[in-house]
Structure 1
Amino acid sequence: ALGAASRIIELQQEELLGAPGMTFMQHHRTRRLQMLVRFGAWEELLAEPAPPAELKHARAMWHYAHGRAAAATGDLAAAEADLRAVRAAAADPALVDERLEFNTAGDILKVAVDVLAGQIAFARHDYESAVSHLSRAAEAESALTYGEPPDWSIPVRQELGAVLLAAGKPAEAQKAFEADLEFFPENGWSLHGLARALRAQGRTVEADQVEARFTRVWEGGPIEMASR
């Protein structure tokens, strides 16, 4: 996934990125950032230079990804600064209705705001706020027009389920992972989370069954699945 996302950047013509109607190319450029978030490559993200200010959508998504890395590594002041930048971009009239391929930049940044806010709250152990933001982000994600690949690359319910597990709410986490599996059948991320949620409820037989499904789909997977 990272290799393909990096290849997209190599193939793009830089002079087209800021041209009218080409904002979708900026979004394609940010897929590498989204994959770095997916795999928790925080140090690499923190070292990633910001796009030029005139590439407003790409810059906003960089702030989202940088904010995720800052929150994950404990620099909450930097994460909050990134969140303010994403919020400002999400309210920018020049971006709100700007078309990508399947959705508008405003649609995508609406998800980004609540995911980042939720992860900052999670880093502060404010689980109630984290769940609230991520639940709102999941609703916004569900309202997106689906395309291949999806404009939002990391399903929000996977993150919501992980936060609910950390908050000691395995039954609610189970529902989040099951909902994600309806959208993305047999994906390893939610199967792994679902097995953990079931096991935390003492439903060992069901957890073992889901774990077996996870093992089948994740065989030869790119990374060892972390506990969260």
Structure 2
Amino acid sequence: MHSIVEIASKVLKAEILASERNYTQSITLLQKAVAIEDGLNYNEPPDWFFSVRHHLGAVQIEAGHYEDAIKTYEEDLKRLPKNGWAHHGLKLAYEKLHNKAKAAEMEQLLSKSWATADLKITTSRIK
């Protein structure tokens, strides 16, 4: 239970820092939260319901660290394949890098993974 509280605390603090444009500290906290999340025991449903990498990638994009965001989302897809949240984040990162082909590829994957959803994704994290 302590690990879940630590993740929640770090994500909350990181989101506050990101809203203040203090991206360096926000990213550091989110990286620590990712490490804690990765150390959680496997459980169904997962103890932490929403991948911290979604927050990390979004803040990396806000900070202009597009290549880092791509790595973050690709790692997320290894753990959670066909994940619309990560596809959306990748699409945004590739758009920022002016890579239209990869952005279009991610849009197609997002459309496929999100085909039956009743919510339109506008960010890769819950805000």
- Does structure 1 residue 187 correspond to structure 2 residue 77? no
Residue identity opposite 2:90 in structure 1? L
Q: Distance in 2 between matches of 1:111 and 1:156?
A: 8
- Does structure 1 residue 106 correspond to structure 2 residue 2? yes
Partner of 1:125: 21
Residue identity opposite 1:146 in structure 2? Y
Please give the residue correspondences for 1:201-216 in structure 2 after superposition, counting only pairs within 5 Å: 201-216=97-112
Q: Distance in 1 between matches of 2:66 and 2:30?
A: 16
Please give the residue correspondences for 1:40-59 in structure 2 after superposition, counting only pairs within 5 Å: none
Partner of 2:44: 148
- Does structure 1 residue 167 correspond to structure 2 residue 63? yes
Deviation readout 1:17-45 (Å, 9 max, x if unpaired): xxxxxxxxxxxxxxxxxxxxxxxxxxxxx
**Whose RCO is larger (CA < 8 A, sep 6+)?**
2
Runs of 4+ aligned structure 1 residues displaced above 3 Å come to none
Q: Can you give the 5+ residue segments of structure 2 that lack an aligned partner in the other structure?
A: none
Partner of 1:226: 122
Deviation (angstroms), 1:220: 2.7
TM-score (norm 1): 0.53
Q: Distance in 1 between matches of 2:118 and 2:2?
A: 32
Aligned residue pairs total 124
- Partner SS state of residue 199, structure 1: helix
Q: Distance in 1 between matches of 2:123 and 2:9?
A: 25
TM-score (norm 2): 0.92
Q: Pick the structure with greater CA Rg.
A: 1
Q: Distance in 1 between matches of 2:28 and 2:22?
A: 10
CA RMSD of aligned residues (A): 1.1
Deviation (angstroms), 1:113: 1.7
